[in-house]
Structure 1
C-alpha cells in the first residue's frame, strides 16, 4: 500500500497528492500533523528514505530556527525534535513498500509508484 504523509496546507504536498490521485493506484493519506509519528515510525521512515534525520528537517520552520538551529544535535535528538514538533518533518513523504521518497519536487513520487 502506498502512503502519503500529507499536510493539506502545503502546496507541494497537495501537488504530491494529485500525482497519487492521477496514478489510479490505491493509497492512503496520513495527516501527520494530526496523526503524529512515533519515534519508531520515524526511524523506520528514515531507514526507507536512506537519509540521516537532519535531512528530513524543515530548517526554515520557526520552531527549528528558535530552538534547534546552530546546536550540535545527535540523530536521536533530531528525531525527538521531529516527534515532538511534527511541523519540522519535510513534506510530502510517500512510502511504497520498502521504498520512500520526499516529494520535492513532487514528480519524485513517480519514481516509486
Structure 2
C-alpha cells in the first residue's frame, strides 16, 4: 500500500523549491491534475510542471499541515491547512497512486478561511 506521507513531503519540497525535477518526480507521464474539482485538468507530467511553475509560490511563503482522512491501496484523501502570511486555506486532496508511489490523478478542493 502506498502511504501518502513521502509523496506529500515530496510535494511540499517541490512547492518550496519550484524545481521542475522535484515537481515531475511526483507524477506519472500521463497524470492529470485538477487544481479545482470541476475544472479542466492539467494533462500530462510536462503540462503539470508548466502550470505549476506558472502559479508558483515563493519558497517558504506558505506552511502546510495535514492529516489522512482515508488511505487505501490506490487512493489517499488528506485534509490540510495552508497558511500564508496574509491568508489561510483549508484543503482536501484526493491523490490516486500507481504502485511505485507516483501520482496518476490529483484533485484538490480549497477554501479560503473567512477573516473577521
For the criterion TM > 0.5, the same-fold answer is no
> TM-score scaled to structure 1, two decimals?
0.32
User: How does the TM-score come out when normalised to structure 2?
Assistant: 0.31
Structure number with the higher helix fraction is 1
Relative contact order (C-alpha < 8 Å, sep 6+): which is higher? 1
**Higher strand content, 1 or 2:** 2
